[in-house]
């Protein structure tokens, strides 16, 4: 049995589907690194499959594939010319006209090779189609015919693509994911289950076996991240490796989980126990709540208190940033939920969840699909869903639509508001 005071489990990202398309689809895959590197790889699952699509005239698949590849302008013009000609032959004149007049390779052809472009316009305007005139051979080359031109295109484009080994592709994807997590673009990857206990220890577990992770060198030597007093709160940053812990003596520590090294100590974060922690999206600041009735924002680089929110008359049990980062929601044992402006530090609203005698509010949870709604859990047998868009003055009355899930409220601020619970 594991006895702990608190724990934190990194949230897992959504599933990634179709990493390797089936061979029957044979769709090329373009892989490029972060934009600042300027590196791009023109890669396909199968060069033979790519060429087969061209030789068989599977132009929908070919055009989708080449849209994600970086190819020379001349070869793109050759490809689009062939597709336009074959659409004209099939009398798909609308599609041929759209392709000729609205796609970038054809617009470039009109600018750089006007005669070639006008030849296609003339073919499009005719009431008949002459295959010998259309496919008589690519300019400057011998041979002719539709199949010959397809084969020439396949050979030319095959020289522009390659097959990337699966191990290399996975390595590139892994690097891209790490970079995105570092930038706060992805949620933590769920690889760690961390607990904090009353003895001050912070331990990393293998959640599939229920055992301490010994692949972390410091834990393999029975060394652990730790606080001087009981651990009351834990929080991961979005880079998947930065962990913060708050203790009963008001201190906060920040570690790199992979190495177990302390990155920052906030010795005077609060005067009493730290009940809640949350990193900003860019991992440069941390929000904390405390038994000392305050909420604070700390700069991790400077270690200084950047903002303080005062107004609760009892313990602050939880505090979270709103999705836009402009406000903070806090839950307190004084029975209220408060909304704070991050910019000014002022309380913009005080909400009282349902319950007689204003029972303590233990926690709150933002709803992922509606940023204005949040779930409140107080010391009653009721869970309440609340809305931050409230009236600024006392509500005089409320009525419900007879058939729809719709409420109307009117208040002393002179406003009538419609709500969808």
pLDDT digits (tens, 9 = 90+) for 301-348: 999 999 999 999 999 999 999 988 899 999 999 999 999 999 999 999
Q: Are residues 64 and 144 in the same domain?
A: yes
Model confidence at 23: pLDDT above 50: no
Which of 314, 307, 322 minimizes the C-alpha distance to 292?
314
The number of angstroms, rounded, from the C-alpha of 407 to the middle of its chain's C-alpha atoms is 34
Strands 274-279 and 285-290, by their bridges, are antiparallel
Lowest mean pLDDT segment, chosen from 81-85, 228-232, 398-402: 398-402
Identify whether 300 is part of a domain.
no
372 and 402 share one domain:
no
Mean pLDDT of 86-96: 91
Total domain count, the chain: 3
CA dihedral (348, 353, 357, 359) in degrees, to 10, reads -100
- Residue 420 in domain: yes
170: which 2 tokens? 């996975």
The average pLDDT across 370-376 equals 79
pLDDT higher at 76 or 191:
76
Question: Is residue 381 located within the same domain as residue 397?
Answer: no
Judge whether 1 lies within some domain: no
pLDDT at 10 over 80: no
- Which range (133-142, 207-216, 319-328, 332-341) has the least confidence? 133-142
Q: Are 306 and 279 in contact (CB under 8 A)?
A: no
Alpha helices by DSSP H, listed for 90-162, are: 93-102, 104-112, 114-125, 131-134, 146-158
Question: In terms of domains, do 357 and 397 share one?
Answer: no
In a shared domain, residues 107 and 127: yes
Choose among 229, 230, 202: nearest CA to 216: 202
User: What is the average pLDDT score of the chain?
Assistant: 82
- Number of helical (H) and strand (E) elements in the chain, helices listed first: 10, 25
Which residue is it, tokens 């700390």? Answer: 298
How far is 247 from 5, CA to CA, in rounded Å? Answer: 10
Residues 380 and 401 in one domain: no
pLDDT recorded at residue 375: 83
Interacting residues of 407 by C-beta distance below 8 A, sequence separation 6+? 398, 399, 400, 401, 418, 419, 420, 421
Q: How many CA atoms, within 13 angstroms, populate the side-chain half-sphere of residue 169? A: 14
Q: Which of 200, 301, 290 is nearest to 250 (CA)?
A: 290
Beta-carbon contacts of 346 under 8 Å, excluding residues fewer than 6 positions away, are 340
Which residues face 386 on adjacent strands?
Answer: 374
**Are 352 and 403 found together in one domain?**
no
* 305 part of a folded domain: no
Separation of alpha carbons 71 and 217, rounded Å: 47
Q: Over pLDDT 70: what percentage of the chain?
A: 78
Q: How far is CA 147 from CA 56, 183, 419, in A?
A: 9, 49, 64
pTM exceeding the 0.85 threshold for the entire prediction: no
When mean pLDDT is compared across 43-52, 105-114, 139-148, the lowest value belongs to: 139-148
The winner for highest mean pLDDT among 18-22, 38-42, 83-87, 394-398 is: 83-87
**253 falls within a domain:** no
Choose among 342, 334, 339: nearest CA to 316: 334
- Does 88 lie in the same domain as 115? yes
Are 350 and 409 within one domain? no
Domain around 112: 47-158
One domain, residues 150 and 86: yes
Q: Is 131 inside a domain boundary?
A: yes
Is there a contact between 406 and 419 (Cβ–Cβ < 8 Å)? yes
Res. 400: pLDDT tops 90 = no
- Label the pairing between strands 395-400 and 407-411: antiparallel
Report, as an integer, the average pLDDT of 31-56. Answer: 65
Per-residue pLDDT at 185: 59
Residue 356 falls inside a structural domain: yes
The pLDDT value recorded for residue 351 is 86
* % pLDDT > 90, the chain: 49
- Among 103-107, 144-148, 208-212, the range with the most confident prediction by mean pLDDT is 103-107
Examine the fold and report which residue of 99, 128, 158 is the final residue of a domain before the chain moves on.
158
pLDDT score, position 235 = 95
pLDDT surpasses 70 at 270: yes
Q: What is the pLDDT of residue 36?
A: 40
Average pLDDT over residues 1-29: 42
Q: Assign 3-state DSSP to the chain and report helix, strand, coil percentages, each to 5.
A: 25, 30, 45
Looking at the structure, tell me whether residues 102 and 82 fall in a common domain. yes
Task: List Cβ neighbours of 354 (8 Å cut-off, separation of 6 or more).
Answer: 380, 382, 384
pLDDT at site 66: 84
At residue 107 the predicted structure's pLDDT band, cuts being 50, 70 and 90, is very high
pLDDT at 34: 38
How much is the average pLDDT of 358-368?
Answer: 85
The count of other CB atoms within 10 Å of the CB of residue 302 is 11
237 contacts 193 by C-beta, under 8 angstroms: no
Residues contacting 98, CB < 8 A, separation 6+ = none
The predicted structure's pLDDT at residue 418: 78
Is 99 domain-assigned? yes
349 and 414 in a single domain? The answer is: no
Residue where a domain terminates, one of 116, 141, 158: 158
Of 138, 158, 178, which one is at a domain's C-terminal end?
158
Task: Supply the pLDDT for residue 324.
Answer: 87
């Amino acid at each position: 049995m594991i006895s702990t005071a608190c724990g934190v489990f990194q949230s897992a990202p959504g599933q990634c589907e179709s990493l390797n398309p089936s061979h029957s689809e044979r769709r090329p895959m373009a892989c490029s690194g972060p934009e600042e590197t300027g590196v791009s790889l023109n890669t396909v699952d199968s060069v033979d499959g790519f060429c087969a699509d061209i030789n068989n005239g599977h132009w929908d698949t070919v055009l989708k594939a080449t849209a994600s590849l970086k190819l020379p302008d001349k070869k793109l013009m050759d490809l689009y010319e062939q597709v336009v000609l074959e659409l004209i032959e099939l009398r798909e004149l609308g599609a041929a006209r759209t392709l000729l007049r609205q796609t970038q390779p054809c617009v470039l052809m009109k600018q750089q090779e006007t005669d070639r472009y006008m030849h296609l316009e003339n073919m499009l305007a005719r009431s008949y189609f002459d295959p010998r005139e259309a496919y008589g051979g690519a300019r400057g080359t011998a041979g002719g015919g539709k199949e010959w031109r397809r084969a020439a295109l396949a050979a030319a484009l095959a020289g522009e693509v390659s097959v990337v080994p699966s191990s290399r592709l996975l390595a590139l994807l892994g690097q891209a994911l790490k970079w995105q997590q570092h930038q706060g673009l992805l949620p933590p990857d769920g690889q760690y289950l961390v607990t904090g206990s009353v003895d001050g220890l912070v331990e990393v577990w293998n959640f599939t076996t229920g055992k301490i992770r010994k692949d972390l060198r410091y834990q393999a030597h029975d060394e652990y991240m730790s606080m001087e007093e009981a651990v009351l709160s834990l929080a991961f940053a979005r880079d998947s490796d930065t962990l913060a812990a708050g203790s009963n003596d008001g201190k906060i520590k920040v570690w790199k989980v992979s190495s177990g090294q302390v990155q920052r100590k906030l010795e005077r974060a609060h005067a009493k126990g730290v009940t809640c922690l949350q990193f900003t999206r860019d991992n440069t600041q941390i929000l904390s709540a405390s038994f000392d009735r305050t909420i604070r924002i700390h700069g991790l680089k400077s270690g200084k208190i950047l903002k303080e929110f005062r107004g609760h008359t009892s313990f602050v049990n939880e505090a979270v940033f709103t999705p836009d980062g402009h406000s903070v929601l806090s839950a307190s044992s004084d029975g209220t939920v408060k909304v704070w402006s991050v910019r000014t530090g002022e309380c913009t609203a005080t909400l009282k969840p349902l319950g007689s005698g204003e029972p303590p509010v233990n926690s709150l949870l933002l709803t992922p699909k509606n940023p204005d709604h949040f779930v409140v859990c107080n010391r009653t047998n009721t869970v309440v869903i609340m809305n931050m868009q409230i009236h600024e003055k006392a509500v005089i009355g409320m009525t419900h639509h007879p058939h729809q899930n719709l409420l109307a409220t009117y208040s002393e601020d002179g406003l009538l508001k419609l709500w969808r619970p």
